[in-house]
Chains A and B, each alone.
Chain A
Amino acid sequence: MTTNFICGIAVRSALSSAVMALVLIVGFVPVARAQTSSKARVEAFAKLPNWSGIWELDAFVGQSDGQQFSAEGQRRLAYYATAMKPSFTAEYQAKFDAIRKEVAAAVAADPAHPPVTHQPLCGSPPFPATLTPGMYEWLVTPEETIFVSTVGAVRHIYTDGRSHPPKDELWPTPTGDSVGHWDGDTLVIDTISTKQRLYTGELSGFFFPMSAQLHFTERVRMLDHNHMQIDYTVEDPLALTKPIHAVIVHSRVTDYNRMTEEADCEENERDPVVNGRFTTVVK
């Protein structure tokens, strides 16, 4: 006689040893598979670099209470603005010049309330989201790397060998579609299907108009314990005469130890956009 326990009730049955063996196999195979899978995953994890910690764009290090940049921060901003200056094709230069002229006229008409030509304080951070204010985390797993920021960015970079979806299954979104692979300790990210606009080193500058062929490549690696480096390349054969390239640096945050949301604009937004212009509510 064998005693089995089902839902806490002791049931005596005269199961043959063969049936018992079947029960054992059926009952334990999934567990055994899970253990194998878990072990393999742990081994896969062990091969990945450790990017844990909290990071911020180097330009924002040392910012003051009123968000003024440090001298070094200003130098880095100037670098980003220069490195990321687009070299447009004639067609896109004409588009850009028209926007710039329109903006200049709007500023001249009301200098106190600048027109919204760039990302407002709130909303989805513009791609690549590695240049925006706030703090960042890189969560590295065997299947994907997730980049999150305290101002609301979430990027999924799939490293499980998948390709981008076919063209007829893509549409522009703020973060687009990213796939990646590891080249040693460097994560190589390929991104398409973002919004057809370009956010550059002019951190309070324009969203540049781009084409549907906009394509980003990022090579991300840890330089040392306190710095991450992103080799950032933008290609768009219709809009650019040559790729844009910049070296983005993230610095480890050492004065705070958790990711805390900072883009909850419903709570107390006092710089609202009114009729396409930034305004301020002083009371």
Chain B
Amino acid sequence: MFDHTKEVKLVGTVKEFQWTNPHCWIQVLVPDPANPAAEPVEWGVEMGAPVELMRKGWKPGSLNAGDKVTIVINPLRDGQHGGLVLSVTGPDGNMIGRPAPTAQ
């Protein structure tokens, strides 16, 4: 499903943080830098299970709607706006949780 040879950096605003089983998801609204007036594109990015994220430093309230984030992902192969999280940088500029070894 994911293209592990490619990385995409998403700079945008959290629409929703889904702290759910079996996996957590971040819905993030990403504006097009070349066309800021256009409607931002919604991406859905996948992480692990809540309890596994908790072990890595996340909490259900780690992200909230409106938070500015930078997320690096392996994109979906099918071209949809989705991917697998490699790292998440929160509103304070610090990485949250445990990023992928390649992203540290």
Binding between chains A and B: yes
Give me the interface of A with B, judged by CB distance under 8 Å.
62-68, 70-71, 111-114, 121-122, 133-135, 150, 253, 255-256, 260-265, 267-271, 278-283
Structural contact, B1 and A112, CB atoms closer than 8 A: yes
A-B contact pairs, 18 of them (CB 8 A): A64-B97, A65-B48, A65-B85, A65-B87, A66-B86, A67-B48, A112-B77, A121-B23, A122-B22, A134-B49, A135-B51, A255-B55, A260-B50, A260-B51, A262-B21, A264-B22, A278-B1, A282-B43
B35 on interface, CB distance cutoff 8 Å: no
Structural contact, B1 and A271, CB atoms closer than 8 A: yes
Identity of the chain A residue whose Cβ is nearest the Cβ of B73 in the assembled complex: A66
0/1 interface trace, chain B 43-71, chain A, CB 8 Å (1 if under)? 11011111111111010000000000000
- Residues of chain A with a CB closer than 8 A to B44's CB: 270, 280-283
Structural contact, B101 and A265, CB atoms closer than 8 A: no
B88 on interface, CB distance cutoff 8 Å: yes
Q: Which of B58, B74, B80 contacts A65 (CB 8 A)?
A: B58
Q: With the chains together, A71 CA to B100 CA distance in Å?
A: 10
Min distance, Cβ A134 to any Cβ of chain B, angstroms: 8
Structural contact, A280 and B18, CB atoms closer than 8 A: no
Given A67-B48, A260-B51, A267-B21, A282-B101 contact (CB < 8 Å): no
- Residues of chain A with a CB closer than 8 A to B98's CB: 62-65
- Residues of chain A with a CB closer than 8 A to B1's CB: 112-114, 271, 278-280
Q: Top 6 nearest A-B pairs by Cβ distance? A: A282-B82, A268-B20, A112-B77, A262-B49, A282-B44, A112-B78
Min distance, Cβ A233 to any Cβ of chain B, angstroms: 30
Given contacts A64-B99, A135-B51, A269-B22, 6 further A-B contacts (CB under 8 A): A65-B56, A68-B100, A134-B49, A256-B55, A267-B21, A270-B23
Q: With the chains together, A67 CA to B84 CA distance in Å?
A: 9
Q: Which of A113, A268, A282 contacts B21 (CB 8 A)?
A: A268
Structural contact, A65 and B47, CB atoms closer than 8 A: yes
- Residues of chain B with a CB closer than 8 A to A135's CB: 51
B94 on interface, CB distance cutoff 8 Å: no
Structural contact, B101 and A280, CB atoms closer than 8 A: no
- Residues of chain B with a CB closer than 8 A to A265's CB: 21-22
Structural contact, A280 and B102, CB atoms closer than 8 A: no
Min distance, Cβ B20 to any Cβ of chain A, angstroms: 4
Identity of the chain A residue whose Cβ is nearest the Cβ of B78 in the assembled complex: A112
Q: With the chains together, A261 CA to B25 CA distance in Å?
A: 17
Structural contact, B81 and A282, CB atoms closer than 8 A: yes
Q: With the chains together, A112 CA to B75 CA distance in Å?
A: 11
Structural contact, B55 and A268, CB atoms closer than 8 A: no
Min distance, Cβ B25 to any Cβ of chain A, angstroms: 6
Q: With the chains together, A282 CA to B27 CA distance in Å?
A: 8
- Residues of chain B with a CB closer than 8 A to A270's CB: 23, 25, 44, 46
